[in-house]
Amino acid sequence: MQITHRTQHHRLNPRPWILLFILLGFGLRVQQLGFQPLWGDEGWSFYFAVQSVPRLVALTAVDIHPPLYYLLLKAWLSLTGPGPELARFFSVLAGTLLVPVCALLGRRLFGDRAAVTAAAVTATTPMAVYYAQEVRMYGLVTLLTALSVYAFARARVPRWRVVYVVTITAALYTMYYAVFVLAFQVLYALLRPGERRSLWPRLRPFVLAGILYLPWGLYAGPRLVSYVQNKRAVEGYAALGFARYVGDHLVAFSIGHLAPLLRPYAWMALPFLVIAGLGLLAAFRARRELYLGLYLLVPLLAGFAINLAYPFTPPYYERTLLLAGPAWWLLLAAGMAWLWRRTPLLAAGTAIPMLLILAVSLTGYYTVPRYPEADYRPLLRDIAARAAPQDTLLASYQWQLGYYYAYLPAPRPRLFEVPGWGEGWAGPSRQTSRQADLAAILQESPRLWFPAHQTLGHLWEDEAEETIAQLGFPALLKWYGPQTRLTLAAGTARPLVDAPTANFGDRLALEAARVGAGDYPSGRGVIPVQLRWRKLNSLGSEYRVNLRLVDAQGRTWASRDSHPQAGLAHFTDLPAGASLTDRHGLLVEAGTPPGVYRLLLSVRRVSDAHPLDVLDAQGQPQAAELHLADVTVVLPDPPVGAAALPVQVPLNADFGPAARLVGFSIADGPFRVGETAAVNLFWQALDDAPGPLLVFLELQDETGRQVGWYERPPLRPAEEWRRGDLLRDPHDLPIPGALLPGVYYLRTGLLAADRTRLPVRGQDSLPLTAITVVDRPRNFDPPAPQIPLSVEFGERARLVGLDMPLDPLQPGDPLPLTLYWQAVGPFEKNWKVFVHLLDESNRIVAQQDQIPGGGQFPTLGWRPGEYLTDGYRLQIPGFAVPGQVFRLEIGLYDPNDFSRLPVVENGQVIGDHVVLESWPVRVE
């Protein structure tokens, strides 16, 4: 079996070149090591690696691969710690070692030049790079089989016979397809020309390897046969023809995997086929054709035969025969070395386009995710940011559990393996078991997380989601790509207290309501709400339940919109008079400052979010939302991760040692002059109590000139911050009324107590985004109101008239009003108009407050001399009696501090509102 070393004239010292290519190969293999997401098979690798050794061995006996790789991976992770990049580095080492092994093979078969070209090809070929970055056994088995091929070529030396037996046995314990390399070696030992030894010495190493492998064959063989037969029935792949099968492999070995859209570009492998053809000629000249031919063809032919009997052709299926790749790469190396010896210029001219093709292929690998739909990183990043060790995370499949171990840092939530990986919960016959398990989990854990896989029929997953909605308090139902839907539900251990009930528009009666007692940490707390509805009358269209958590200023900090029972029921399907119990969980968003908030309930039409009125005992509308409870929000301990913040644009910019701006969000533009742009800044404290700080927002024009300035302390003062705390910091940035239409640039920063700016990225402020400012149509022609007036407010606005019904109205009638304003002077901020309907005792019986024009004409955008039309719609109280007289009260106030704009007459302040005594509203 000995293959002698090829000698050649004009010897080249290959060692520096081989070292160079080893370093290049290592660099290519560590490049973008964490870019590609783990995919299902890599999840299986992690799943096996975290098991105890006896359980690992038992599990792999019924798997498609034997245990050695997983045992080595387990040992590796025990040294390095968990993590996808660390696990992939084990494959990087195997893939890098393959470069010198192929160089040794090239030198043994064809000489020094082939050693250098073999190192170059192995270092740069995409398939070798791909699987040197994957947490699978393909790179390791390719290394082991290549080592065995080299040791086999030197097997007449006793120590190399030992190396051969060890490496081929290890390969067999790594991957079953390694038997194809063993088969090639047996065939070569039998067919090698000129072999004079008797049969037994030639077969002895193979027999010894077989004896070493026999225990595993006897242990796992029957289980493997059953597994493969079941796998074939489940997966149902179609067998490929010979040309397609072999062609796919040779193209993949040459230029890497081709996605379906790139199959028309398979012709790019033609230069590689030509060079491999030259290599085959060189092999014939060197009498190496049988060795390399069997190395390549035996695995391909055996794989094709298995493809006919047990087809397995998923995307990138060529990886299963990567162990035959070195034979092809050696042919390429031999061909290039042959060309190099004869016409170096032609060799260089051929190598350059081949390298460009390889560079394009590798660039695609480094920049285009191969399994984007299966990327669990965003989902598990969100869970890691919010979850606590007391939470429970359901694991539906072994690969999914592997993802959890790979991506979730300690301390992890409690991992619960679904019985039978779903089979123990599937179907009506397992309903009792499913309910009992989930009830126990919800009683023990404050939160239950369930990433439901949605591509394998998801029958039992749907049943589990339904049970969770019935037993727990579902707070989140979020899709992560097309394959995974995450459910988050609150547990049931927290006591519930009674909450108010209400009549919603004579359509739905809230017969009972209960809300969870206690405090809720921001970013982690889920407020349980239990409702019992009774349908009074037809709703006419679809409605959803809305829950909001609002502060004293009316800002929304958390909200949930859902059909009843987490979408399992609909009000339109409920018969009149029937009732249903409805459970919801409201997740308190990360960054919510500690304090007391109002929990509001409404029922809103799906098509336009219009709410049903909350009626009083007399059937009169009182509000659009029911105040269910006051809720206390506290700081989470420990702080939640920054990934929990609902950031629109991530930044992660540090302002000195004080704070990190994790990101921001801004309302959709364009913005009209005078409006306010809602900007949310998301902060993370880098230190305890970093001192009094002011947030500023600055608008600049294209020359960098400041055209707008706004400053305010963070909503939660920086003196109260703790290291790691998160804060959502809302700001209403006023768009100055004097701005011309155009594009402006928004920047932000922090001011210290002495008004110095904290440094950020080498500057004193941070650019956020560009915003577009537009103007609105303006009217400078005086109106013709039904009732002329002249009431001046703070020398800024004049009420010049009013339109209103002058005839008596009926109880419950609408009262439409139109106010006509004239801008007198510039406004420095936005004011709201209030219109009150007063009874004889000056009691407000109806009112409407708004930014003028229903929000279209904020006062900051008024220009002196223009006229504005401002419409309102009040309602005569249903309890009004004939002959009763009401009066209108009008004024302007600051919604931030409720101060009013004074009424001025002849330069003197005469009040802070006007009552239209001369134009009463009468009821008949």
Tens-digit pLDDT profile for residues 799-849: 999 999 999 999 999 999 999 999 999 898 899 999 999 999 999 999 999
Which amino acid, 482? P
Q: Kindly state the percentage of the chain with pLDDT values over 90.
A: 84
Give the mean pLDDT of the chain.
Answer: 93
- Measured in degrees and rounded to the nearest 5, phi and psi for residue 107 equal -70, -40
- What does the pLDDT look like over 344-401, one tens digit per residue? 999 899 999 999 999 999 998 999 888 888 899 999 999 999 999 999 999 999 999 9
Question: Is the pLDDT assigned to residue 230 strictly greater than 80?
Answer: no
Alpha helices, DSSP H, located in 343-397: 344-367, 377-386
CATH 3.40.640.10, domain 496-634, yes or no: no
Strands (E), 606-688: 614-615, 621-623, 626-634, 649-655, 659-666, 671-672, 676-685
3-state secondary structure of 144: helix
- What does the pLDDT look like over 542-579, one tens digit per residue? 999 999 999 998 999 999 999 999 999 999 999 999 99
772 neighbors 788 (Cβ within 8 angstroms): no
- Tokens 């949605």 belong to 454
CA distance linking residue 353 with residue 330, whole number of Å: 19
- What does the pLDDT look like over 517-549, one tens digit per residue? 999 999 999 999 999 999 999 998 999 999 999
Lowest-pLDDT choice from 2-16, 159-173, 367-381, 407-421? 2-16
The mean pLDDT value for 175-187 works out to: 97
3-state secondary structure of 51: coil
CA distance linking residue 733 with residue 677, whole number of Å: 5
For the chain, domain boundaries: 15-367, 376-490, 496-634, 645-774, 787-922
Between CA 12 and CA 18, with CA 13 as vertex, the angle to 5 degrees is 115
CATH 1.10.760.10, domain 645-774, yes or no: no
Structure tokens at 467: 């049970």
Question: Rounded to whole angstroms, what are the CA distances from 233 to 238, 310, 399, 636?
Answer: 11, 9, 20, 50
CA distance linking residue 70 with residue 86, whole number of Å: 14
Alpha helices, DSSP H, located in 31-67: 40-49, 53-60
Q: Which fold has domain 787-922?
A: Immunoglobulin-like (2.60.40)
Helices (H) and strands (E) in the chain, counts: 20, 37
In sequence order, which residues have a C-beta less than 8 Å from that of residue 142 and are 6 or more positions away?
94, 98, 128, 131, 322, 323, 325, 326
User: Beta partners for 629?
Assistant: 599
- Tokens 């190496």 belong to 288
**CATH number of the domain at 376-490, please?**
3.40.50
483 neighbors 551 (Cβ within 8 angstroms): no
CA distance linking residue 573 with residue 565, whole number of Å: 13
797 neighbors 901 (Cβ within 8 angstroms): yes
- What does the pLDDT look like over 107-141, one tens digit per residue? 999 999 999 999 999 999 999 999 999 999 999 99
- What does the pLDDT look like over 588-619, one tens digit per residue? 999 999 999 999 999 999 999 999 999 988 88
Structure tokens at 384: 């890691």
Residue 199 belongs to what H/E stretch? helix 199-235
- Other Cβ atoms closer than 10 A to 26: 18
CA distance linking residue 339 with residue 359, whole number of Å: 22
Question: Is the pLDDT assigned to residue 1 strictly greater than 60?
Answer: no
Q: What's residue 380's pLDDT?
A: 97
Do 496-634 and 376-490 have the same topology in CATH? Answer: no
Question: Is the pLDDT assigned to residue 9 strictly greater than 50?
Answer: no
Alpha helices, DSSP H, located in 445-590: 459-471
Q: What's residue 907's pLDDT?
A: 84
CA distance linking residue 638 with residue 643, whole number of Å: 14
CA distance linking residue 276 with residue 343, whole number of Å: 17
